[in-house]
């Protein structure tokens, strides 16, 4: 018997011993910077001259690693290797596959600080954000291992007289896993292990800014006993290698998390049958958000609200799909709350993620920095700048946490996903107006309401149209098993990661009837 699933506890960096361990891990990972990482196809390691170089967004001249780019031959071979591995892996018992995940979770727990340190360097996560990502990766493996075993239990069907009737779930085949960079371990790990524990085999194409973290994860799976060919590691440019994989006739499903634009493109490309293709590809696409925290005049503690808004807006520099990018505040408390939000924002220290005194690190790369600064310029012309509004240093991609007030509900700042440290505060006449603003974008990922009024909380429960609704708490920080995660509308296909339904996305039900 395995113990029931419990979320991995977060580490306490206030404890001096814990801080020491993190410092040691940072020093140890520093020794490994500049390493080269190969493609992995059917367990075979391959290197080419063409590599992705990743660097530290806190320190632009610091190389993190070099990762070989897969070419079309590698993709073809990876699909072949995955097909071969599928023949045995799909017939392993669910318990066998689950145990590989449980072992990998245990191994990752042992190396927690090292993975966190790597995230600090390659993804620019502050210590607590890095720890949260590693904990979530462990959670996904622990949770999906148990769900796979549950899914293998007999399905209840009606037995007709003289017949034996049964139904069971079988895996789909060879899939593509295409994760984003912002949860470079948790999402990469959750998407990969959810698919494989259900019996599929995959090609994993990591995000091009964080492939070293993905390479470490693939190595960990191998060290944990994952058979060769179940996960094939094929890094490369999304627009080249990604399209090649998604459009391939022998790819059965695509599990994607990333931007709306790329998600819609993948959905379209996957929908077009290719020569020799004998199935409709299944696309799981989790995409962007324009998430909100709504505050009415009945909530008693505006300090607590301000603290939650600032954490949700600027945690990991606002680069979370669930980040609070809109605070929608009713007029009666607007001025008071905005003052508190601005004061807290101005108190945030910005700087290298490796320094635990910094609450806010860098944004991920040059293109992201430019795009965010462009949005800030748009904001300066259309709203009231209340905090931040510029870069803080050129040593890294550092942008000051930025707050705009009196943003119009239909303004660019209130409608488009910026994916950076920019908060738009919108003034609502009253609660009804606030709810209509909250629902007034094309997205529907996360949202919060702070209210002391039972009727309003119930109204939001029913009518605030988001996949993840939070009442009287912030809109970030979903926990595997507690908060099934996925969005409505243009936020995606609502895959509900970390839920009992997730593995169903990577299976199909087979019904068998035998007449005696």
The 18-47 site mask, x for binding ligand NDP (CB under 6 A), equals ------------------------------
Of the CA atoms within 13 Å of residue 297, those in its CB half-sphere come to 12
> Of 424, 454, 456, whose CA–CA distance to 440 is shortest?
424
Q: Least distance in Å: CB of 152 to ligand NDP? A: 27
- Find the catalytic residue in 321, 369, 409, 475: 321
Contact residue for ligand NDP among 171, 238, 315, 484 (CB under 6 A): 238
Q: Is 508 in the site for ligand NDP (CB under 6 A)?
A: no
If DSSP states are collapsed to H, E and C, what string results for 396-429? CCEECCEEEECCCCCCHHHHCCCCCCEEEEEEEC
Please say whether the dihedral angle defined by the alpha carbons of residues 338, 339, 341 and 342, taken in this order, is positive or negative: positive
Task: Round to whole Å and give the CA distance between 80 and 74.
Answer: 10
Q: Which of residues 173-232 bind ligand NDP (CB under 6 A)?
A: 178-183, 187, 205, 207-208
Nearest to 117 by CA among 216, 246, 256: 216
| Contacting residue, 286, 291, 297, 308, with ligand NDP by CB under 6 A | 286
Asked if 324 is an active-site residue, the reply is no
* Least distance to ligand NDP, CB of residue 354, Å: 22
In this complex, which beta carbon is closest to ligand NDP, that of residue 199 or of residue 289? 289
265 touches ligand NDP (CB under 6 A): yes
- Give the interface segment with ligand NDP, choosing from 109-117, 285-293, 310-318, 508-516 (CB under 6 A): 285-293
Longest Cα pair distance anywhere in the chain, in angstroms?
A: 77
- Torsion of Cα atoms, 352 then 355 then 358 then 364, to 10°: 30
Q: Is 416 a catalytic site residue?
A: no
Site for ligand NDP in 391-450 (CB under 6 A): 417, 419, 445
Which conformational region is residue 236 in: left (phi greater than 0), alpha (psi within -120 to 50 degrees), or beta? Answer: left
CB environment 304-326: b (16+ within 10 A), e (fewer): ebbebbbbbbbbbbbbbbbbbbb
Q: Which stretch binds ligand NDP (CB under 6 A): 122-130, 262-270, 421-429, 505-513?
A: 262-270
- Check binding of 317 to ligand NDP (CB under 6 A): no
Find the helix packing angle between 94-110 and 211-223, rounded to 10°.
120
Instruction: Give catalytic residue positions.
Output: 286, 321
Residues that bind ligand NDP in the complex, under the rule CB under 6 A: 178-183, 187, 205, 207-208, 237-239, 242-243, 246, 257-259, 262, 265-266, 286-289, 321, 417, 419, 445, 487, 491-492
């Amino acid at each position: 018997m395995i113990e029931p699933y419990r979320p991995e506890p977060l580490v306490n960096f206030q404890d001096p011993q814990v801080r020491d361990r993190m410092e040691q891990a940072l020093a140890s990972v520093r020794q490994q910077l500049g390493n080269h990482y190969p493609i992995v196809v059917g367990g075979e390691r391959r290197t080419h001259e063409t590599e992705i170089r990743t660097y530290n967004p806190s320190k632009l001249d610091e190389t993190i690693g070099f990762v070989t780019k897969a070419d079309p031959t590698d993709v073809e071979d990876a699909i072949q290797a995955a097909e071969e591995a599928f023949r045995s892996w799909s017939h392993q018992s669910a318990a066998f596959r689950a145990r590989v995940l449980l072992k990998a979770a245990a191994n990752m727990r042992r190396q927690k600080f090292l993975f966190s340190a790597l995230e600090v360097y390659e993804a620019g996560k502050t210590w607590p954000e890095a720890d949260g990502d590693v904990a979530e990766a462990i959670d996904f493996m622990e949770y999906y291992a148990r769900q796979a075993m549950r899914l293998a239990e007999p399905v209840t069907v009606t037995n007709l007289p003289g017949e034996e009737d049964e139904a069971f779930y079988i895996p789909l085949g060879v899939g593509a896993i295409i994760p984003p960079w912002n949860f470079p371990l948790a999402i990469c790990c959750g998407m990969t292990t959810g698919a494989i524990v259900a019996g599929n085999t995959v090609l994993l194409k990591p995000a091009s800014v964080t492939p070293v973290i993905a390479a470490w994860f693939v190595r960990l799976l191998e060290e944990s006993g994952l058979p060769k060919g179940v996960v094939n590691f094929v890094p490369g440019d999304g627009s080249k290698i990604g399209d090649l994989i998604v459009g391939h006739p022998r790819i059965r499903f695509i599990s994607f998390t990333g931007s709306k634009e790329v998600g819609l493109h993948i959905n379209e490309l996957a929908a077009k049958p290719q020569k020799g293709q004998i199935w409709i590809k299944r696309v799981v696409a989790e995409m962007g958000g324009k998430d909100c925290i709504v505050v009415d005049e009945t909530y008693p503690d505006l300090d607590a609200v301000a603290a939650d808004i600032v954490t949700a807006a600027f945690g990991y520099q606002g680069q979370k799909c669930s980040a609070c990018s809109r605070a929608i505040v009713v007029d009666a408390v607007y001025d008071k709350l905005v003052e508190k939000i601005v004061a807290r924002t101005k108190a945030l220290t910005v700087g290298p993620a490796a320094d635990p005194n910094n609450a806010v690190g860098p944004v991920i790369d040059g293109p992201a920095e430019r795009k965010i600064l462009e949005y800030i310029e748009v904001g300066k012309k259309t709203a009231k700048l209340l905090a931040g509004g510029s870069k803080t240093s050129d040593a890294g991609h550092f942008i000051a946490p930025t707050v705009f007030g009196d943003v119009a509900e239909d303004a660019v700042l209130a409608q488009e996903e910026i994916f950076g440290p920019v908060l738009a505060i919108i003034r609502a006449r009253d609660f009804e107006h606030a709810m209509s603003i909250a629902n007034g974008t094309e997205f529907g990922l996360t949202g919060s309401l702070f209210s002391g009024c039972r009727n309003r909380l119930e109204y939001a429960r029913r009518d605030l149209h988001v996949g993840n609704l939070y009442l009287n708490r912030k809109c970030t920080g979903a926990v595997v098993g507690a908060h099934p995660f996925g969005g409505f509308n243009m936020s995606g296909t609502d895959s509900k990661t970390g839920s009992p339904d997730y593995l169903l996305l990577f299976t199909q039900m087979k019904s068998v009837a035998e007449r005696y």
